[in-house]
Amino acid sequence: MQGRFSDRHGYRGTEQEIAVREEAPEGLRFAIPLIAQDAGMSPDTMRRVICGVLLVRADPSNWSDYPNIWDEVNGLIGDCPWFKVYDVAEAIHAALAARYSDGADLFQDRLNSYFRENGIGWQMTGGRIVYRGSEAFAEATREAAAVLAQTGRSAAANEVHEALADISRRPKPDITGAVQHSIAALECTARDVTGEPNLTLGRLVPRLALTPPLDTAVEKLWGYASERARHVREGQAVSSEEAELVVSVACAVCTFLSKRDRS
């Protein structure tokens, strides 16, 4: 399972610009069973998992793994609605994790590589398919959640996770919810580092000792979130790109404040 040249030497394909969200391309539908097979799952087990997700009966006339059950597996995943493909991926990971963690880890790692190399805007984290934004977005949210948890700011870390859950929601992402939760994470962090548990972020900014004009930038970020996400007006919908920016910046500031306070 670790014998591939690229695995041994740490090579990865070039990350492509995200072009796929609400879709499961044919290549992905074919790749998932192949990756599951590499992770140690038999076609018969795959079929049980997929039938459980799709709530369909397995073909009782198919007995042999190859080619019969293998062809059935590819037919089932090839014909199902796009969002069910991601449900199947999660279910396969769960089935692998129940048997041995190495197989589940390999499945997740190779699936994420496929996502990155084929411009698919999703990633698997802990067996769950979540929103994948730009590299800056992914790094900012990952580091913020880790640093906040390490410094005992569980409430703020949970707000980061909720922001990711909202922007990942399908069929319709909760864009305003993602913005609100990211600002809530920043507000929680600011309250903790200043020792002022009852003030709003707008009143906390002057107490954060941020070098100008960074203090103004954070204040403007809070103002944007208040105007666009808390008090939504007709014709002022937040785009997913804007939400990514707000979440990324809020997470980056959370990380900075936590690290500065710890040091």
Instruction: Summarize pLDDT for 20-49 with one digit per residue, the tens.
Output: 988 999 999 999 999 999 999 999 999 999
Q: Are residues 124 and 214 in the same domain?
A: no
pLDDT at 214: 94
Q: Are residues 169 and 218 in the same domain?
A: yes
Q: Find the radius of gyration of the CA atoms of the chain.
A: 22
Residue 123 sits in the same domain as residue 22: yes
Specify whether 122 is located in the same domain as 236.
Answer: no
* Same domain for 254 and 211: yes
Q: How many domains does the chain have?
A: 2
Whether residue 248 sits in one domain with residue 153:
yes
End residue of a domain, out of 87, 112, 131 = 131
Domain extent for 252: 135-262
The verdict on 244 and 159 lying in the same domain is yes
Q: For the range 214-221, what are the long-range contacts, defined as Cβ-Cβ under 8 Å and sequence gap of 24 or more? A: 218/186, 218/253, 221/183, 221/186, 221/246, 221/249, 221/250, 221/253
pTM for this predicted structure: 0.72
Same domain, 110 and 151: no
pLDDT tens-digit map of 91-100: 999 999 999 8
Residues 46 and 127 in one domain: yes
**pLDDT the model gives residue 234:** 46
Residues of the chain where predicted confidence (pLDDT) is lower than 70: 1-2, 230-236
Please report the pLDDT score of residue 232 as a whole number.
Answer: 53
In the listed set 131, 158, 175, which residue is the last one of a domain according to the structure? Answer: 131
Do 77 and 149 belong together in one domain? no
17 and 125, same domain (yes or no): yes
pLDDT at 1: 46
> Are 70 and 117 found together in one domain?
yes
**Residue 51: CA count within 13 A, CB half-sphere:** 14
